[in-house]
Amino acid sequence: MFMQEYSVASVMEMGCCGCFGFSFAKKQKKNLRPRVEGGNYVLQGLLVNQEVEEEEEDVEDEESNNNSCCDNITDNEKEDHDHEDFINPAKNSQEILVYRTENGLICREFPVKETHKVVRSEDENGNKMVNEYVRVCKLGSGSYGKVVLYRSQVDGKHYAIKAFHKSHLLKLRVAPSETAMTDVLREVLIMKMLNHPNIVNLVEVINDPDTDHFYMVLEYVEGKWVFEGAGPPGGLGEKVARRYLRDIVSGLIYLHSHNIVHGDIKPDNLLITATGTVKIADFSVSQVFEDENDMLRRSPGTPVFTAPECCLGKSYHGKTADTWAAGVTLYCMIFGQYPFLGDTLQDTYDKIVNNIVFLPEDMNPLLRNLIVGLLCKDPMQRMTLEAVALDPWVMGDDGPIPEYLCWCKRNKLQREESAQSKIDTISHIN
Protein backbone atom coordinates (compact mmCIF):
# COMPACT_ATOMS: atom_id res chain seq x y z
CA MET A 1 0.00 0.00 0.00
CA PHE A 2 1.80 3.11 -1.20
CA MET A 3 0.72 5.29 1.71
CA GLN A 4 3.55 3.66 3.65
CA GLU A 5 6.04 5.69 1.66
CA TYR A 6 5.40 8.51 4.11
CA SER A 7 6.88 8.75 7.57
CA VAL A 8 3.54 8.15 9.19
CA ALA A 9 4.53 6.47 12.40
CA SER A 10 1.00 5.72 13.42
CA VAL A 11 -2.22 5.31 11.56
CA MET A 12 -5.53 6.33 13.02
CA GLU A 13 -9.19 6.64 12.12
CA MET A 14 -10.49 10.22 11.95
CA GLY A 15 -14.01 11.47 11.38
CA CYS A 16 -13.91 14.80 9.61
CA CYS A 17 -11.78 17.94 9.49
CA GLY A 18 -14.57 19.78 11.24
CA CYS A 19 -14.01 17.51 14.23
CA PHE A 20 -10.96 19.61 15.05
CA GLY A 21 -12.66 22.99 14.89
CA PHE A 22 -10.10 23.78 12.19
CA SER A 23 -10.32 26.69 9.78
CA PHE A 24 -7.59 28.17 7.65
CA ALA A 25 -7.13 31.76 8.77
CA LYS A 26 -3.73 33.29 9.47
CA LYS A 27 -5.02 35.70 12.12
CA GLN A 28 -6.36 32.79 14.14
CA LYS A 29 -3.26 30.67 13.92
CA LYS A 30 -3.43 29.64 17.56
CA ASN A 31 -6.79 27.97 16.87
CA LEU A 32 -5.67 26.11 13.78
CA ARG A 33 -4.01 23.23 15.54
CA PRO A 34 -6.21 20.34 16.62
CA ARG A 35 -6.35 19.54 20.29
CA VAL A 36 -5.16 15.96 20.21
CA GLU A 37 -2.72 14.11 22.39
CA GLY A 38 0.45 12.50 21.12
CA GLY A 39 2.05 15.32 19.17
CA ASN A 40 2.99 14.94 15.55
CA TYR A 41 3.06 11.16 15.91
CA VAL A 42 -0.72 11.24 15.93
CA LEU A 43 -1.16 14.31 13.72
CA GLN A 44 0.39 12.68 10.66
CA GLY A 45 -1.91 9.73 11.07
CA LEU A 46 -4.89 12.06 11.17
CA LEU A 47 -3.83 13.79 7.96
CA VAL A 48 -4.25 10.67 5.86
CA ASN A 49 -7.03 9.13 7.94
CA GLN A 50 -5.43 5.76 8.26
CA GLU A 51 -6.42 3.26 10.91
CA VAL A 52 -4.73 2.24 14.12
CA GLU A 53 -5.01 -1.39 15.11
CA GLU A 54 -7.24 -1.41 18.14
CA GLU A 55 -7.69 -4.14 20.69
CA GLU A 56 -9.86 -6.94 19.40
CA GLU A 57 -13.22 -6.01 20.83
CA ASP A 58 -16.52 -7.45 19.71
CA VAL A 59 -18.98 -4.61 19.30
CA GLU A 60 -21.85 -7.06 19.68
CA ASP A 61 -20.91 -7.89 23.29
CA GLU A 62 -23.17 -6.26 25.85
CA GLU A 63 -20.27 -5.20 28.06
CA SER A 64 -18.88 -3.06 25.23
CA ASN A 65 -21.81 -0.67 25.76
CA ASN A 66 -19.67 1.43 28.03
CA ASN A 67 -16.60 1.33 25.77
CA SER A 68 -15.70 3.65 22.91
CA CYS A 69 -15.45 1.15 20.08
CA CYS A 70 -14.38 3.95 17.80
CA ASP A 71 -14.63 7.11 19.87
CA ASN A 72 -12.25 9.39 18.00
CA ILE A 73 -13.49 12.70 19.41
CA THR A 74 -11.71 13.89 22.53
CA ASP A 75 -13.32 16.09 25.18
CA ASN A 76 -11.53 19.12 23.76
CA GLU A 77 -12.71 18.29 20.28
CA LYS A 78 -16.28 17.98 21.54
CA GLU A 79 -15.89 21.47 22.98
CA ASP A 80 -14.79 22.67 19.55
CA HIS A 81 -17.94 21.11 18.06
CA ASP A 82 -20.14 23.04 20.46
CA HIS A 83 -18.74 26.31 19.11
CA GLU A 84 -18.44 25.18 15.51
CA ASP A 85 -19.79 27.48 12.83
CA PHE A 86 -22.08 25.02 11.10
CA ILE A 87 -24.36 25.95 8.23
CA ASN A 88 -27.03 23.53 7.09
CA PRO A 89 -28.88 23.74 3.78
CA ALA A 90 -32.25 25.54 3.82
CA LYS A 91 -33.73 22.26 4.95
CA ASN A 92 -31.40 19.84 6.67
CA SER A 93 -30.61 16.46 5.19
CA GLN A 94 -32.87 14.58 7.57
CA GLU A 95 -35.94 16.64 6.63
CA ILE A 96 -35.25 16.23 2.93
CA LEU A 97 -34.58 12.51 3.24
CA VAL A 98 -37.67 11.86 5.33
CA TYR A 99 -39.80 13.78 2.82
CA ARG A 100 -38.35 11.82 -0.09
CA THR A 101 -38.83 8.52 1.71
CA GLU A 102 -42.42 9.25 2.77
CA ASN A 103 -43.30 10.30 -0.78
CA GLY A 104 -41.62 7.38 -2.50
CA LEU A 105 -38.95 9.60 -4.06
CA ILE A 106 -36.22 6.96 -3.85
CA CYS A 107 -34.06 5.51 -6.57
CA ARG A 108 -34.69 1.84 -5.80
CA GLU A 109 -36.97 -0.67 -7.43
CA PHE A 110 -36.95 -2.77 -4.26
CA PRO A 111 -36.81 -1.05 -0.85
CA VAL A 112 -34.25 -1.85 1.82
CA LYS A 113 -35.44 -4.55 4.21
CA GLU A 114 -36.23 -3.22 7.69
CA THR A 115 -36.14 -5.52 10.70
CA HIS A 116 -37.22 -4.42 14.18
CA LYS A 117 -36.25 -7.51 16.15
CA VAL A 118 -32.73 -8.59 17.13
CA VAL A 119 -32.14 -12.23 18.05
CA ARG A 120 -28.60 -12.86 19.24
CA SER A 121 -27.58 -16.51 19.40
CA GLU A 122 -24.94 -19.03 18.35
CA ASP A 123 -24.82 -21.65 15.60
CA GLU A 124 -23.93 -25.30 16.11
CA ASN A 125 -20.23 -24.42 15.96
CA GLY A 126 -20.43 -21.73 18.62
CA ASN A 127 -20.20 -18.83 16.17
CA LYS A 128 -22.13 -15.73 17.20
CA MET A 129 -25.26 -14.93 15.25
CA VAL A 130 -27.43 -11.87 14.71
CA ASN A 131 -30.78 -13.03 13.35
CA GLU A 132 -29.97 -15.08 10.23
CA TYR A 133 -26.35 -13.90 10.01
CA VAL A 134 -23.42 -15.97 11.31
CA ARG A 135 -20.30 -14.07 12.36
CA VAL A 136 -17.21 -14.89 10.30
CA CYS A 137 -14.58 -12.30 11.26
CA LYS A 138 -13.96 -8.63 11.93
CA LEU A 139 -13.26 -6.55 8.83
CA GLY A 140 -12.39 -3.23 10.44
CA SER A 141 -13.88 -0.09 11.89
CA GLY A 142 -16.29 2.39 10.37
CA SER A 143 -16.82 5.94 11.50
CA TYR A 144 -18.65 5.02 14.70
CA GLY A 145 -18.72 1.24 14.94
CA LYS A 146 -17.19 -2.08 13.95
CA VAL A 147 -17.57 -3.64 10.52
CA VAL A 148 -17.91 -7.42 10.69
CA LEU A 149 -18.20 -10.10 8.01
CA TYR A 150 -21.27 -12.31 8.36
CA ARG A 151 -22.73 -15.15 6.32
CA SER A 152 -26.48 -15.44 5.82
CA GLN A 153 -27.99 -18.84 6.66
CA VAL A 154 -30.85 -17.99 4.28
CA ASP A 155 -29.03 -17.33 1.01
CA GLY A 156 -25.47 -18.38 1.92
CA LYS A 157 -24.04 -15.01 0.86
CA HIS A 158 -21.55 -12.92 2.80
CA TYR A 159 -22.45 -9.46 4.05
CA ALA A 160 -20.49 -6.66 5.70
CA ILE A 161 -22.44 -5.54 8.76
CA LYS A 162 -21.85 -2.23 10.51
CA ALA A 163 -22.70 -2.72 14.16
CA PHE A 164 -23.42 0.18 16.49
CA HIS A 165 -24.56 0.86 20.04
CA LYS A 166 -27.22 3.55 20.02
CA SER A 167 -26.33 4.76 23.52
CA HIS A 168 -22.72 5.31 22.42
CA LEU A 169 -23.76 7.21 19.28
CA LEU A 170 -26.07 9.48 21.26
CA LYS A 171 -23.18 10.53 23.51
CA LEU A 172 -20.93 11.69 20.67
CA ARG A 173 -21.52 15.32 19.66
CA VAL A 174 -20.54 16.04 16.05
CA ALA A 175 -22.17 19.47 15.68
CA PRO A 176 -24.02 21.92 17.95
CA SER A 177 -27.36 20.19 17.42
CA GLU A 178 -26.25 16.78 16.15
CA THR A 179 -24.84 13.57 17.59
CA ALA A 180 -23.18 10.62 15.92
CA MET A 181 -26.62 9.01 15.87
CA THR A 182 -27.73 11.81 13.55
CA ASP A 183 -24.90 10.93 11.18
CA VAL A 184 -25.71 7.22 11.21
CA LEU A 185 -29.43 7.75 10.66
CA ARG A 186 -28.65 10.16 7.81
CA GLU A 187 -26.31 7.59 6.29
CA VAL A 188 -29.06 4.97 6.47
CA LEU A 189 -31.64 7.29 4.89
CA ILE A 190 -29.23 8.20 2.09
CA MET A 191 -28.33 4.60 1.34
CA LYS A 192 -32.01 3.62 1.35
CA MET A 193 -32.43 5.93 -1.64
CA LEU A 194 -29.48 4.76 -3.73
CA ASN A 195 -29.05 2.02 -6.28
CA HIS A 196 -26.02 2.22 -8.57
CA PRO A 197 -23.39 -0.31 -9.71
CA ASN A 198 -20.58 1.90 -8.35
CA ILE A 199 -22.11 2.44 -4.90
CA VAL A 200 -22.13 -0.11 -2.08
CA ASN A 201 -25.67 -1.42 -1.61
CA LEU A 202 -27.53 -1.32 1.70
CA VAL A 203 -29.45 -4.59 2.03
CA GLU A 204 -31.10 -4.45 5.46
CA VAL A 205 -31.39 -2.29 8.56
CA ILE A 206 -31.84 -4.04 11.91
CA ASN A 207 -33.03 -1.70 14.64
CA ASP A 208 -34.72 -3.24 17.65
CA PRO A 209 -36.38 -0.52 19.81
CA ASP A 210 -36.04 -2.80 22.84
CA THR A 211 -32.26 -3.19 22.58
CA ASP A 212 -29.22 -0.94 22.24
CA HIS A 213 -28.14 -2.62 19.02
CA PHE A 214 -28.30 -1.12 15.54
CA TYR A 215 -27.04 -2.88 12.40
CA MET A 216 -26.55 -1.91 8.77
CA VAL A 217 -26.33 -4.98 6.53
CA LEU A 218 -24.28 -4.04 3.48
CA GLU A 219 -23.24 -5.71 0.28
CA TYR A 220 -19.88 -7.40 0.90
CA VAL A 221 -17.23 -6.27 -1.55
CA GLU A 222 -14.84 -9.19 -1.60
CA GLY A 223 -11.96 -7.40 -3.32
CA LYS A 224 -9.23 -5.28 -1.81
CA TRP A 225 -9.24 -1.58 -1.10
CA VAL A 226 -8.12 0.47 -4.03
CA PHE A 227 -4.29 0.69 -3.94
CA GLU A 228 -3.68 -2.39 -1.83
CA GLY A 229 -1.13 -4.65 -3.50
CA ALA A 230 -2.06 -3.62 -7.03
CA GLY A 231 -0.12 -2.07 -9.88
CA PRO A 232 3.57 -1.23 -10.25
CA PRO A 233 5.60 0.24 -7.35
CA GLY A 234 4.58 3.83 -6.63
CA GLY A 235 1.24 3.74 -8.43
CA LEU A 236 -1.37 1.65 -10.18
CA GLY A 237 -0.49 2.56 -13.74
CA GLU A 238 -2.62 4.54 -16.18
CA LYS A 239 -4.74 1.62 -17.38
CA VAL A 240 -5.94 0.59 -13.91
CA ALA A 241 -6.24 4.20 -12.71
CA ARG A 242 -8.38 5.06 -15.75
CA ARG A 243 -10.74 2.15 -15.08
CA TYR A 244 -11.08 3.05 -11.42
CA LEU A 245 -11.59 6.75 -12.13
CA ARG A 246 -14.35 6.00 -14.62
CA ASP A 247 -16.22 4.09 -11.90
CA ILE A 248 -15.65 6.82 -9.31
CA VAL A 249 -16.88 9.54 -11.67
CA SER A 250 -19.92 7.48 -12.69
CA GLY A 251 -20.88 7.02 -9.04
CA LEU A 252 -20.33 10.69 -8.20
CA ILE A 253 -22.33 11.93 -11.20
CA TYR A 254 -25.18 9.72 -10.01
CA LEU A 255 -24.95 11.07 -6.46
CA HIS A 256 -24.76 14.69 -7.55
CA SER A 257 -27.70 14.26 -9.93
CA HIS A 258 -29.71 13.22 -6.86
CA ASN A 259 -28.44 16.28 -4.93
CA ILE A 260 -26.21 14.20 -2.65
CA VAL A 261 -22.65 15.21 -1.76
CA HIS A 262 -20.46 12.37 -0.52
CA GLY A 263 -18.05 14.59 1.41
CA ASP A 264 -15.23 12.09 1.92
CA ILE A 265 -14.01 10.64 -1.37
CA LYS A 266 -10.66 8.91 -0.74
CA PRO A 267 -9.05 5.49 -1.28
CA ASP A 268 -10.31 4.06 2.02
CA ASN A 269 -13.89 4.73 0.90
CA LEU A 270 -13.45 3.16 -2.52
CA LEU A 271 -13.88 -0.61 -2.45
CA ILE A 272 -12.93 -2.76 -5.39
CA THR A 273 -14.64 -6.02 -6.28
CA ALA A 274 -12.90 -9.17 -7.48
CA THR A 275 -13.88 -8.20 -11.03
CA GLY A 276 -12.28 -4.76 -10.74
CA THR A 277 -15.38 -2.63 -10.21
CA VAL A 278 -15.00 0.28 -7.79
CA LYS A 279 -17.82 0.93 -5.34
CA ILE A 280 -18.14 4.11 -3.28
CA ALA A 281 -18.69 3.41 0.42
CA ASP A 282 -19.22 5.23 3.73
CA PHE A 283 -21.87 7.96 3.57
CA SER A 284 -21.49 8.90 7.23
CA VAL A 285 -20.63 12.55 6.49
CA SER A 286 -22.69 12.94 3.31
CA GLN A 287 -25.24 15.72 2.85
CA VAL A 288 -28.46 15.95 0.86
CA PHE A 289 -29.87 19.09 -0.73
CA GLU A 290 -33.38 20.06 -1.70
CA ASP A 291 -32.25 21.62 -4.98
CA GLU A 292 -29.01 22.66 -6.68
CA ASN A 293 -27.94 24.80 -3.72
CA ASP A 294 -25.11 22.64 -2.37
CA MET A 295 -23.49 25.26 -0.15
CA LEU A 296 -21.78 24.00 3.02
CA ARG A 297 -19.62 25.43 5.76
CA ARG A 298 -18.58 22.45 7.84
CA SER A 299 -15.83 20.61 5.95
CA PRO A 300 -16.36 16.90 6.49
CA GLY A 301 -13.50 15.44 4.47
CA THR A 302 -10.10 13.98 5.29
CA PRO A 303 -7.35 16.66 5.40
CA VAL A 304 -5.18 15.56 2.45
CA PHE A 305 -8.27 15.22 0.24
CA THR A 306 -9.81 18.56 1.26
CA ALA A 307 -10.35 21.21 -1.43
CA PRO A 308 -8.66 24.63 -1.04
CA GLU A 309 -11.96 26.47 -0.62
CA CYS A 310 -12.83 24.17 2.30
CA CYS A 311 -9.63 25.23 4.09
CA LEU A 312 -10.59 28.90 4.16
CA GLY A 313 -13.35 28.72 6.74
CA LYS A 314 -15.94 30.01 4.28
CA SER A 315 -18.95 28.42 2.64
CA TYR A 316 -18.23 26.24 -0.38
CA HIS A 317 -19.97 24.04 -2.95
CA GLY A 318 -20.03 20.41 -1.85
CA LYS A 319 -20.06 19.00 -5.37
CA THR A 320 -16.91 20.81 -6.49
CA ALA A 321 -15.24 19.68 -3.25
CA ASP A 322 -16.10 16.07 -4.17
CA THR A 323 -14.55 16.69 -7.58
CA TRP A 324 -11.30 17.95 -6.02
CA ALA A 325 -11.16 14.83 -3.82
CA ALA A 326 -11.55 12.68 -6.93
CA GLY A 327 -8.61 14.57 -8.44
CA VAL A 328 -6.46 13.92 -5.37
CA THR A 329 -7.45 10.25 -5.55
CA LEU A 330 -6.40 10.10 -9.22
CA TYR A 331 -3.07 11.70 -8.33
CA CYS A 332 -2.58 9.05 -5.65
CA MET A 333 -3.40 6.26 -8.08
CA ILE A 334 -0.91 7.55 -10.65
CA PHE A 335 2.00 8.60 -8.44
CA GLY A 336 1.51 6.58 -5.29
CA GLN A 337 1.64 9.67 -3.09
CA TYR A 338 -0.40 12.67 -2.02
CA PRO A 339 -0.14 15.94 -3.96
CA PHE A 340 -0.16 18.02 -0.75
CA LEU A 341 1.01 16.63 2.57
CA GLY A 342 2.62 18.49 5.46
CA ASP A 343 3.87 17.47 8.88
CA THR A 344 0.85 18.98 10.62
CA LEU A 345 -2.73 19.81 9.76
CA GLN A 346 -1.95 23.49 9.34
CA ASP A 347 1.05 22.76 7.12
CA THR A 348 -1.06 20.46 4.95
CA TYR A 349 -3.79 23.07 4.57
CA ASP A 350 -1.16 25.71 3.76
CA LYS A 351 0.14 23.55 0.93
CA ILE A 352 -3.33 22.74 -0.41
CA VAL A 353 -4.19 26.45 -0.60
CA ASN A 354 -0.85 27.84 -1.81
CA ASN A 355 1.33 25.20 -3.47
CA ILE A 356 1.36 24.25 -7.13
CA VAL A 357 0.79 20.55 -7.77
CA PHE A 358 3.97 18.75 -8.84
CA LEU A 359 3.74 16.92 -12.17
CA PRO A 360 6.70 15.29 -13.98
CA GLU A 361 7.65 16.89 -17.28
CA ASP A 362 7.66 13.58 -19.13
CA MET A 363 4.17 12.46 -18.10
CA ASN A 364 1.30 11.83 -20.51
CA PRO A 365 0.13 15.34 -21.56
CA LEU A 366 -3.52 14.24 -21.64
CA LEU A 367 -3.26 12.96 -18.09
CA ARG A 368 -1.42 16.12 -17.05
CA ASN A 369 -4.26 18.29 -18.37
CA LEU A 370 -6.84 16.19 -16.55
CA ILE A 371 -5.06 16.39 -13.18
CA VAL A 372 -4.49 20.13 -13.59
CA GLY A 373 -8.19 20.57 -14.38
CA LEU A 374 -9.33 18.53 -11.37
CA LEU A 375 -6.87 20.14 -8.97
CA CYS A 376 -7.65 23.69 -10.01
CA LYS A 377 -7.58 25.89 -6.89
CA ASP A 378 -10.51 28.00 -8.10
CA PRO A 379 -13.69 25.90 -7.71
CA MET A 380 -15.43 28.01 -10.38
CA GLN A 381 -12.75 27.05 -12.91
CA ARG A 382 -12.35 23.47 -11.74
CA MET A 383 -13.19 20.74 -14.21
CA THR A 384 -16.72 19.37 -13.85
CA LEU A 385 -17.49 15.69 -13.61
CA GLU A 386 -19.45 15.92 -16.85
CA ALA A 387 -16.33 17.27 -18.55
CA VAL A 388 -14.26 14.49 -16.99
CA ALA A 389 -16.61 11.91 -18.50
CA LEU A 390 -15.74 13.30 -21.95
CA ASP A 391 -12.03 13.89 -21.28
CA PRO A 392 -9.71 12.30 -23.89
CA TRP A 393 -7.58 10.51 -21.28
CA VAL A 394 -10.63 9.22 -19.40
CA MET A 395 -12.32 8.00 -22.57
CA GLY A 396 -9.22 6.18 -23.83
CA ASP A 397 -10.38 3.29 -26.01
CA ASP A 398 -13.69 2.95 -24.18
CA GLY A 399 -15.31 6.23 -25.13
CA PRO A 400 -17.28 8.56 -22.84
CA ILE A 401 -18.41 7.30 -19.44
CA PRO A 402 -21.94 6.07 -20.16
CA GLU A 403 -24.83 7.78 -18.42
CA TYR A 404 -26.52 5.46 -15.96
CA LEU A 405 -30.26 5.32 -16.42
CA CYS A 406 -31.33 4.92 -12.81
CA TRP A 407 -34.67 3.71 -11.49
CA CYS A 408 -36.19 7.14 -10.84
CA LYS A 409 -35.11 8.42 -14.26
CA ARG A 410 -36.67 5.37 -15.91
CA ASN A 411 -39.88 5.99 -13.98
CA LYS A 412 -39.86 9.64 -15.03
CA LEU A 413 -39.38 8.72 -18.68
CA GLN A 414 -42.20 6.17 -18.46
CA ARG A 415 -44.54 8.74 -16.92
CA GLU A 416 -43.64 11.29 -19.58
CA GLU A 417 -44.17 8.73 -22.35
CA SER A 418 -47.51 7.70 -20.82
CA ALA A 419 -48.63 11.32 -20.55
CA GLN A 420 -47.57 12.00 -24.12
CA SER A 421 -49.42 8.90 -25.30
CA LYS A 422 -52.63 10.13 -23.64
CA ILE A 423 -52.23 13.54 -25.25
CA ASP A 424 -51.69 11.94 -28.64
CA THR A 425 -54.76 9.72 -28.17
CA ILE A 426 -56.97 12.69 -27.20
CA SER A 427 -55.64 14.69 -30.16
CA HIS A 428 -56.38 11.81 -32.50
CA ILE A 429 -59.95 11.47 -31.18
CA ASN A 430 -60.59 15.19 -31.56
| Domains of the chain, earliest start first | 59-219 (3.30.200.20)
pLDDT at 425: 67
Identify which has the larger pLDDT, 261 or 416.
Answer: 261
Residue 355 backbone phi and psi in degrees, to 5: -85, 150
At residue 285, the pLDDT reads 87
Asked if residue 321 lies in contact with residue 378, where contact means CB atoms within 8 angstroms, the answer is no
pLDDT for the residue numbered 210: 93
* pLDDT tens per residue, range 301-337: 789 999 999 988 888 899 999 999 999 999 999 998 8
- Residue 145: pLDDT band (50, 70, 90) is confident
- Annotated binding-site residue? 192: no
Of 215-224, 245-254, 409-418, give the lowest mean pLDDT range: 409-418
417-to-407, 412, 421, 424 alpha-carbon distances in Å? 15, 9, 6, 10
Which residue out of 80, 183, 247, 264 is catalytically annotated?
264
Decide if 123 is catalytic.
no
User: Would you state the pLDDT for residue 252?
Assistant: 97
Average pLDDT over residues 58-73: 40
Q: What is the mean pLDDT of the chain?
A: 76
pTM: 0.76
Share above pLDDT 90 across residues of the chain, in percent, rounded to a whole number: 48
Query: Is 60 exceeded by the pLDDT of residue 18?
Result: no
